[in-house]
Amino acid sequence: MRTTLVKLAAGLALGAAITTSAFADKFPSKPITYIIPFNAGGESDISARFQQSAWEKYSGQPVVITYQAGAGGAQAWSQLNSIAGDGYTIMGINLPHTVLQPMMKDVGYKTDDLTPVNYFHYTPNAIFVAKDSQFKTLKDLVEFAKANPGAVTFAGSGSNSANHLAQAQFDKLAGIKTTYIPFSGTGPSVTAVLGMQTMAGFNYAPSGLNQGDAMRMLAVAAEERLPAFPDVPTFKELGYDLVGGAYRGLAVPKSASEETRKNISELISKINADPDFRKKMEAGGFVLTDIPYDKMQSFVEKKKAEYEDAAGLLGIKKK
Amino acid sequence: MELLGYFVNAITPINLLLALVGVVLGTIIGALPGLSATMAVAVLVPFTFTMEPASGLIALGAIYTGAIYGGAYAAILVNTPGTPSSIATTFDGYPMAKRGDGGLAVSIATIASVVGGLVGAISLLLLAPPLAKVALNFGPPEYFWLAIFGLTLISALSVGNTLKGLIGACIGLLMSVVGVAVVGGDVRYTMDMQALLGGFDVTSALIGLFCIPVIIDLVATRDPHLKITEGNQGIRLTEAVAVSLREKFNLVRSSIIGTVVGILPGAGGSIAGLVSYSEARRSSKESNEYGKGHPGGIIATEAANNATVGGGFIPTLVLGIPGTPPDAIILGALLVQGIKIGPTLFNSQGNIVYTFIFGLLIATLIMLPVGLLIGRYAYRSIINVPKAILVPTIAFMVIIGSYSIHSDVHDTYVMLILGALAWILERFGFAASPIVLGLILGKIAEQGFVQAYLIGNATQNVTGMFFGRPISLLIIVAAALTLFYPLIAARITPKKALDVELPASAEEEPRPEKPAKYRDPATIAIALVLILIGGLAIAGTSDMSPLGSVFPTTISIAMIVFCVLLILINLLRPAAQKVNTVGQSGVASPSNRRRLLVAALLAAWIIAIPILGLGVASFLGFISVTAVANHEDTSLLRAMMYGLVAAVIVGLFYLLMANVLLIRMPMGLFF
C-alpha cells in the first residue's frame, strides 16, 4: 500500500514511466524483514547476523531480523505462503528440517510448498568430547562402542534433527550401537558434553569454537577439513562416508514473482562473495555453499532423496 | 589496579548515556506485558554493529536489566507479570497494591532489583570462571528435580486448598506437553490444529491467565481498581528502605539464588524467582502472610530475577553458552563484532569484558533513581486514570502483547480463551498460578526426566541417575522441606493455616465466609469435566512413543485421582443452603452483563484484527471497551475526550510496535 502511494507521488513529480522502471531496477527500496524460524542465538540467527552486517553494502537498505520460533521451525514455515510475496518479507529455511518434518506428520506445510531461493551455507555435524574424556580419537570411541553396545551416549540438539540423523548414519557406517540423548537446543547439548553428562556429542562444528580447548572435536562431517579446525580429520579421511549437517538458506512465499526470487537469490550470493563475510563465517566454523535459485530444484531433489533414505534409520516411515 | 582502569573506560559520557537510555527503554518495554527483554535486545543489536564493542554491550546489558526490572510494575499494579520472570511478584505485589500499598510495593521492588542486579554483576566481575563450573555440574536429573522443587511451591501457595492447587498444576503440566516434543519428537495433543504445533506459548498463556480475569472483573463495579488510602500516594521510599533492611537476609539469599539459577542455561528468571520465593516463604516467621501481600515475597522475586542477569552472563562469557534467551542474542552480537568468546576471553579481551561488566554495574545503579521516578509516575497514573480509560488500555496492552510474541493472531486467540477459562476456574477456587507453574516447569521436568532416563538406561544405572547424585539429593531435600513444611506449620498453628487462601482467589468481591464447607455442585462439575479430559489424554497416548507417553499418562492419572478425591470430599459435605456462591445477584445482574459484554468485545476485537488491521480494530475495540467500563454519566465533551485519548494511545503504541520494535503487522483492510 505504502509503496503504491510513494510511487504515485513520485510519479506525479517525475513522470510515471521513468519512476516505475527506476523502482523496478532498484530492489529493495525499503528494509526487508528476515524471519528466523527459531529462537535467537542459534546458528540460524548468528549466520543471519553476519549477513546483516554486510547487507546494506549490497542492497542499499538495512535488513530487519525477527524471530518466530515454534515447533522446530514448523510454525513459521507453515505460515510462509500466507505472507505477501513482494520480497520484503523473507524467511530462513533449513535442511533436513523441511524434509523430515512433513514426512513424519502433518505439520501444516509440505516440502514442495516452500520456495527456497538460496542455500548459502551449512554447518557440518561433528563429534565432540570433553577435554578430560577417555576418547582421544574417533577410533577410541568406536572401539569402546563395539565393546559396550549402547553405552556411548551422544548429546544432540532435538529429536529427528540433523544431529540425530548423523548419529544414526554413523552407527550404521561404523557398525556400532550408541544412544542418542536429545536436548532442547545446541546450547544445552554442548553444556551436557562439557559437563560430561553424556560421553560425547553430535553437534555442529561452530559449537567447537566458543569452548576453546575445553572440548575436543574428534571428526567433522565435511568434504574437506575446516579452515577453523585444521587439525580435525573429516569422517571421510577416517573411512566413514559421512558428510552433512544443517543447511541454511532463504525462502520466499510461493506468490513471489520469478523476478523477486532471482533478486533475493542474487543479493544473498553477493553477500556470500563478500571477502569480509566469508572470513567471518569460515572463522566461525560455517561452510559456505553457493546454491542460487537456478540450481535450487536439483539440489533440493537430491537432498530429499538422501534424507528419505536416511529417515528409515530413525524409524520414520514416509506418510 | 587493572580493574580500576577498566572502570574509567566504562564511565565515559557516551557509555553513561547509553546505560541511562537503555535502562529507561528496557524498563518501559519490560513493564508492558508481552513485550519482552528478548525482543528489546534483538531490535537493538544492529545498532551496536557500528558502536565500540564495549559501548554496544553496555547498551544491550542496560536494556536487558531494565526490562527484567520493569516486569515488576505490571505484576504489582495490574496482576500481570510483564515478563515471566516476575510471576511470583504478583503473589504479594498485587494484594499490596489492592490494599493501597502499591507505591510502597514498587519502591521495594526497585530496591530489591538493584541489590539483586548488583550481586549478580559483582559475581560476574569476581567469580565468573569458578561459577561457570556450576552450570556444568547440572545435568538432566538436576534439571528434573529443580522443576519438581518449583512445583512443590504449589503446596505452599495453596494451603487450605491444596487439592485444587494440585489439580491446577496438572492442568498446566498437561498443557506443557502439547505440540511437537523437542525430546522424543512426538506430536502430542495438537488436535490437528497447526496453531498448537508449537504448544502453548508461555507468555501468551501468562498474559491470558493473569490479566483477562482482572479485566473482566474491573468492568463489573465502579470501585476504583486499587484502593487509595489518604497520604499513601507517594513512593514511600523511607518505609521501603526500612522494610528492605528488615528483610536483609531474604534479600541477600534471594540474590544468591538468582545468580546461581541464572548460571544454569535454560532455567531462567522465572524459576529463580519461584525458587527464592518459596525459600523466603519457608524461612519467614510470617509465612502465613505470604500470598496476602507480604513485602518479603516481592523482595525475594525481584532480587532473584535481576540477579539472573549477571548470573546469566557467566556461562555466556566464560563458556560461550547463553544462560538466557537475551544472552543468546548478545552472544550473537559479540560474534559478529569478531570477539571470540570462551575461557580466554577474560584475558585476551579483558578491556571489552571488564568495561562491559562495569557498564552493567553502572546501569544497575542508574536503575534506582530511574526506577523510583518511573515507578512514581506509573503508580500515580494507574490510580488516577478513570476506569473508562484504564480498562481499555490494559486490554489493548494484552492484545498487542500476545500478538507481538510471534506476530501471530493465533497467540492472541489462545490468550483470550485461556483467560476466559481462568476466570471461570478462579470463581471456583482454582487459581491461575499453579496452572502457570505447571506450564513453565512441565517442559523442563519432562525433558530432564527423559534425558536422565535415557542416560541411566545406557549406563544401566537409572536409580543412581535420579537418586545417586549429590546436587540432586540436595534439591530433593529442599523440595521435600517445601512440600511438607505447610503440614508441619499447620500442626503447630492448626487454626490459622486453614484461613489462608490462594492469592488469586483471595481478592475480588467478598465471597461467603467459608464456601468450601458446603458441597459445591459447580466444583463437582468441573472435576468431572477434568476427569473426562484426563481420560481423553490417556486415550490419546496410544500413538505416542513409550517415552513420549510416560509424562502425559502420569499427569493424567494424577489429575483424575485428585479430581475423584475432590468430588468425594464435596459429596461428604452437607448440601449448601443457598443455591450457589457465584451469581449471587443472578446471571443477568448488570455487573455480570458487563463482564460478558467485555469478554465478547475482546473476542470481536481480536477477530477484527486480521480483517481491519491492528490499528483500526484496536481503536474501535478501545472505544467500545471504554463504553462498557464507563460507570459515570458522560457528557459529550467527556466522550470526545475519551475518543481522543483512545486515538492517541492506539496511535502511539502502533508506532512503537511497527516502527520502533519493528514487529510485523497483520495485513488488514486498513492499517
Encode pLDDT of B293-326 as tens digits: 999 999 999 999 999 999 999 988 888 888 777 8
Shortest Cα–Cα distance, A92 to chain B (Å): 15
Residues A53 and A99 in one domain: yes
B103: in domain: yes
Report chain A residues whose CB lies below 8 A from the CB of B670: none
Average pLDDT over residues B189-204: 82
Contacts with B, A 103-122, CB within 8 Å: 104-108
Residues A176 and A150 in one domain: yes
Report chain B residues whose CB lies below 8 A from the CB of A209: 320, 340, 342
Average pLDDT over residues A8-23: 43
Residues A47 and A129 in one domain: no
Q: Which CATH number characterizes residue A137's domain?
A: 3.40.190.10
pLDDT of residue A201: 96
* A contact test, residue of B49, B178, B197 with most A CBs within 10 A: B197
Q: Which CATH number characterizes residue A22's domain?
A: 3.40.190.150
Cell of A314: 530413525
Indicate the pLDDT class of residue A10, thresholds 50, 70 and 90.
very low
Residues A104 and A28 in one domain: yes
Domain boundary residue among B461, B489, B511? B511
* A contact test, residue of B49, B319, B462 with most A CBs within 10 A: B319
Which range has the top average pLDDT, B191-205, B300-314, B569-583? Answer: B300-314
Residues B119 and B214 in one domain: yes
Report chain B residues whose CB lies below 8 A from the CB of A53: 49, 336
Indicate the pLDDT class of residue B233, thresholds 50, 70 and 90.
low
Indicate the pLDDT class of residue B623, thresholds 50, 70 and 90.
very high
pLDDT of residue B329: 83
Rounded Cα gap, residues B370 and B364, in angstroms: 10
Report chain A residues whose CB lies below 8 A from the CB of B451: 181-183, 192
pLDDT of residue A25: 56
For helices B268-283 and B248-263, the axis angle rounded to 10 degrees is: 150
Mean pLDDT over the full length of chain B: 85
Amino acid at A140: D
Rounded Cα gap, residues B59 and B218, in angstroms: 38
% chain B with pLDDT above 70: 92
Residues B629 and B504 in one domain: no
Average pLDDT over residues A91-97: 94
Average pLDDT over residues A173-186: 92
Closest CB to B140: pick one of A1, A159, A197.
A197
The pairing of strands A32-36 and A153-157 is unpaired
Looking up cell 539469599, which residue turns up? B253
Q: Which residue has the higher pLDDT, B513 or B444?
A: B444
The pairing of strands B187-188 and B179-180 is antiparallel
pLDDT of residue A20: 41
pLDDT of residue B408: 81
% chain A with pLDDT above 70: 91
Of B38-52, B205-219, B256-270, the one with minimum mean pLDDT is B38-52
| B582 pLDDT above the threshold of 90 | no
| B590 pLDDT above the threshold of 70 | yes
Cell of A317: 516411515
Average pLDDT over residues B348-369: 89
Amino acid at B62: A
Looking up cell 569422517, which residue turns up? A235
CA-based nearest residue in chain B for residue A190: B321
CB contact under 8 A, A214 and B319: yes
Q: Which residue has the higher pLDDT, B134 or B558?
A: B558
B426: in domain: no
Closest CB to A53: pick one of B38, B49, B140.
B49
Output the CA–CA distances (angstroms, integers) from residue B131 to B3, B136, B279, B330, B576, in the order listed: 19, 10, 21, 20, 58
Q: Which residue has the higher pLDDT, B193 or B107?
A: B107
B420: in domain: no
Residues A110 and A129 in one domain: no
Residues B603 and B476 in one domain: no
Of A173-177, B120-124, B333-337, the one with minimum mean pLDDT is B333-337
% chain B with pLDDT above 90: 40
Q: How many domains in chain A?
A: 2
Average pLDDT over residues A239-258: 94
Q: What is the pTM of this model?
A: 0.85
pLDDT of residue B499: 45
Shortest Cα–Cα distance, A144 to chain B (Å): 13
Closest CA relative to residue B507, chosen from B17, B99, B69: B99
CA-based nearest residue in chain A for residue B330: A41
| A1 pLDDT above the threshold of 80 | no
Q: Give ∠ CA B316-B132-B282 in degrees, rounded to 5.
A: 105
Average pLDDT over residues B228-232: 63
| A302 pLDDT above the threshold of 50 | yes
**Interface residue A160 vs chain B (CB under 8 A):** yes
Indicate the pLDDT class of residue B332, thresholds 50, 70 and 90.
confident
CB contact under 8 A, B333 and A49: yes
Which range has the top average pLDDT, A10-24, B93-107, B622-636? Answer: B93-107
| B580 pLDDT above the threshold of 60 | no
Cell of A33: 524483514
**Bridge partners, residue B633, by sequence:** none
**Interface residue A313 vs chain B (CB under 8 A):** no
The helix (run of H) or strand (run of E) holding residue A280 is helix A275-283
| A22 pLDDT above the threshold of 70 | no
A50: in domain: yes
pLDDT of residue A294: 93
**Interface residue B69 vs chain A (CB under 8 A):** no
**Is the reported ipTM for this assembly greater than 0.90?**
no
Residues in chain A, total: 319
Residues B221 and B354 in one domain: yes
A225: in domain: no
CB contact under 8 A, B340 and A209: yes
| A154 pLDDT above the threshold of 90 | yes
**Interface residue B464 vs chain A (CB under 8 A):** no
Closest CA relative to residue A36, chosen from A27, A45, A28: A45
Residues B470 and B603 in one domain: no
pLDDT of residue B322: 81
A319: in domain: no
pLDDT of residue A104: 79
pLDDT of residue B49: 77
Q: How many domains in chain B?
A: 2
Residues A54 and A76 in one domain: yes
Contacts with B, A 51-90, CB within 8 Å: 52-53, 62, 64-72, 74-75, 78-79, 84, 89
Residues A35 and A116 in one domain: yes
Count of CB atoms within 10 A of residue B528's CB? 13
The pLDDT tens digits of the residues spanning B35-79 come to 777 878 887 887 887 788 888 889 999 999 999 999 899 899 988
Residues A117 and A127 in one domain: no
The boundaries of the domain holding residue B330 are 2-383+431-511
Of A48-57, B312-321, B493-502, B517-526, the one with minimum mean pLDDT is B493-502
Shortest Cα–Cα distance, A237 to chain B (Å): 29
Domain boundary residue among B511, B536, B571? B511
Residues A63 and A211 in one domain: no
Q: Specify whether the CB–CB gap between B144 and B267 falls below 8 A.
A: no
Residues A138 and A46 in one domain: no
The boundaries of the domain holding residue A117 are 2-121+245-314
The helix (run of H) or strand (run of E) holding residue A288 is strand A287-291
Report chain A residues whose CB lies below 8 A from the CB of B194: 75, 78, 107-108
The pLDDT tens digits of the residues spanning A250-297 come to 999 999 999 999 999 999 999 999 999 999 899 888 999 989 999 999
Count of CB atoms within 10 A of residue A247's CB? 24
A111: in domain: yes
Q: Which residue has the higher pLDDT, A2 or B7?
A: B7
| A68 pLDDT above the threshold of 50 | yes
Output the CA–CA distances (angstroms, integers) from residue B479 to A137, B146, B160, B393, B660, in the order listed: 42, 8, 19, 40, 44
Average pLDDT over residues B82-104: 88
CB contact under 8 A, A150 and B138: no
- What DSSP string describes B244-266? HHHTHHHHHHHHHHHHHHHHSTT
The pLDDT tens digits of the residues spanning B234-255 come to 778 888 999 999 999 999 999 9
B372: in domain: yes
Q: Specify whether the CB–CB gap between B356 and B57 falls below 8 A.
A: yes
Residues A160 and A304 in one domain: no
Indicate the pLDDT class of residue B624, thresholds 50, 70 and 90.
very high
Amino acid at B575: A
Residues A153 and A110 in one domain: no
Domain boundary residue among B511, B538, B553? B511
Amino acid at A212: G
Contacts with B, A 170-199, CB within 8 Å: 179, 181-185, 187-188, 190-192, 194-198
pLDDT of residue B605: 94
**Interface residue A134 vs chain B (CB under 8 A):** no
Average pLDDT over residues A181-196: 89
Domain boundary residue among A204, A220, A236? A220
Report chain B residues whose CB lies below 8 A from the CB of A159: 181-185
Domain boundary residue among A162, A186, A220? A220
A110: in domain: yes
Of A69-78, B31-40, B256-265, B461-470, the one with minimum mean pLDDT is B31-40
CB contact under 8 A, B664 and A89: yes
Closest CA relative to residue B439, chosen from B202, B269, B266: B202
CA-based nearest residue in chain B for residue A277: B336
**Interface residue A152 vs chain B (CB under 8 A):** yes
